[in-house]
Amino acid sequence: MIVAVTGGKGGVGKSTVALNLGAELGGVVVDADLAMADLPRSHGPDLHDVLAGRADAIEAVSSVGDVLMLPCGRTLAGARACDVTEFADAIARVASEYDHVVIDCPAGMAADAGLPLVAADSYVLVTIPRPFALADAVRTKALARRLDAGLCRVVLNRVREDPPVETVERTLGAPVTTLPESTTIADAQRNGCPVATLAPESEAREQFSELGRAVYSCRS
pLDDT at 109: 61
Q: What's the 3-state SS for the chain?
A: CEEEEEECCCCCCHHHHHHHHHHHHCCEEEECCCCCCCCCCCCCCCHHHHHCCCCCCCCCCEEECCEEEECCCCCHHHHHCCCHHHHHHHHHHHHCCCCCEEEECCCCCCHHHHHHHHHCCEEEEEECCCHHHHHHHHHHHHHHHHCCCCEEEEEEEEECCCCCHHHHHHHHCCCEEEEECCHHHHHHHHCCCCHHHHCCCCHHHHHHHHHHHHHHHCCC
Quick: pLDDT tens for 17-32. 999 999 999 999 999 9
pLDDT at 220: 55
pLDDT at 110: 62
pLDDT at 70: 96
Please state, in angstroms and rounded to a whole number, the distance separating the CA atoms of residues 8 and 210: 23
pLDDT at 42: 76
- CA–CA distances in Å: residue 129 to residues 4, 146, 157, 158, 176: 21, 25, 7, 8, 12
183 pLDDT exceeds 70? yes
pLDDT at 115: 87
pLDDT tier at 87 (50, 70, 90 boundaries)?
very high
Query: Across residues 38-62, what is the average pLDDT?
Result: 91
Quick: pLDDT tens for 94-109. 999 999 999 999 886 6
CATH of domain 2-218: 3.40.50.300
What does DSSP say about strands 62-64 and 2-7: parallel, antiparallel, or unpaired?
unpaired
Please state, in angstroms and rounded to a whole number, the distance separating the CA atoms of residues 25 and 166: 27
Sequence length of the chain is 220
pLDDT at 130: 86
pLDDT at 51: 96
Query: Within a 13 Å sphere around the CA of 157, how many CA atoms are in the beta-carbon half?
Result: 28
Query: Across residues 140-145, what is the average pLDDT?
Result: 89
Query: Across residues 47-73, what is the average pLDDT?
Result: 93
What is the overall mean pLDDT for the chain?
90
pLDDT at 149: 87
Q: Which residues pair with residue 3 across a beta bridge?
A: 102, 122
CB atoms near residue 93 (< 10 Å): 18
pLDDT at 23: 95
pLDDT at 219: 73
